[in-house]
Structure 1
Amino acid sequence: MGDRDDAYSDVDLILVIDDEAYDAVMRERLALVGSWASLVAGSPGSMSASHV
């Protein structure tokens, strides 16, 4: 990705979704990311509808 990446680099993914899809996306979030790339670890971080 860049010259400054190292073995400990990560990618922050931010999704914008409809309110109606929120529960489904939260249930399937690790599977969704895992379908795009190898997933080493996942965390919900500060994911919340109140941040919209």
Structure 2
Amino acid sequence: MINEKYKYSELTSKIIGCSMTVHKTLGSGFQEVIYQRVLVIEMQLAGISFAREFEI
């Protein structure tokens, strides 16, 4: 759900959508690294730019 009063509402919706797709596709029981790798693919397909495990 996109709420225009929030600055990053559209981006947040896309990220949650990608996460839900990964969860629906894989289910539970895999190691975290597997979910990370699949989420990278989903976010790239959605056109979301990101840095993985970015050190601050």
Query: Taking structure 2 as the reference length, what is the TM-score of the superposition?
Result: 0.39
Query: Which has the larger Rg?
Result: 1
Query: Taking structure 1 as the reference length, what is the TM-score of the superposition?
Result: 0.40
